[in-house]
Amino acid sequence: MRKLVVAALMLAFGLGALAQGHLGIGGSFMGGTPIFDAFAEVSLGQSFALRTTFSYLASFGGVTAFGVDLSLLVLLNLEGITPYFGGGGGALILTGGGAA
């Protein structure tokens, strides 16, 4: 039941982000390990937005990690640019594996 509720919330959030056109991908490095991110952002008015980020950390030392986080963003609507700041929480799921 809990998985169904989470899946329904993720679907509703994803469809809202898709309708607003606020989907993105990115990447970075942590200690030489590549991190791949996909995010969806839903506007909650002119000053707030909700962003969910799904991350995949490539195998480092035989361990792979997946991350999910949810952030509330405060948007500063200035002329021509929209900087933001915010906070949130998330989870990091580690899976074990053998060395390649």
Q: Is residue 84 part of a domain?
A: yes
Q: In the chain, how many domains are there?
A: 1
Q: Is residue 100 part of a domain?
A: no
> Which residue would you say has higher pLDDT here, 87 or 98?
87
Is a pLDDT exceeding 80 seen at residue 84?
no
Instruction: Tell me how many degrees the CA angle 61-70-13 measures, rounded to the nearest 5.
Output: 115
pLDDT in tens, 43-77: 888 888 888 888 888 766 677 788 888 888 888 87
Is a pLDDT exceeding 60 seen at residue 100?
no
**pTM, entire model:** 0.60
Note down the domain range covering 60: 2-25+36-95
> Which residue would you say has higher pLDDT here, 98 or 67?
67
Q: What is the pLDDT of residue 51?
A: 84
Handedness of CA 38, 84, 86, 49 (dihedral sign): negative
Q: Is residue 44 part of a domain?
A: yes
Q: Is residue 31 part of a domain?
A: no
Average pLDDT over residues 9-19: 66
Positions of E strands within 1-100: 23-30, 33-43, 48-60, 63-75, 84-95
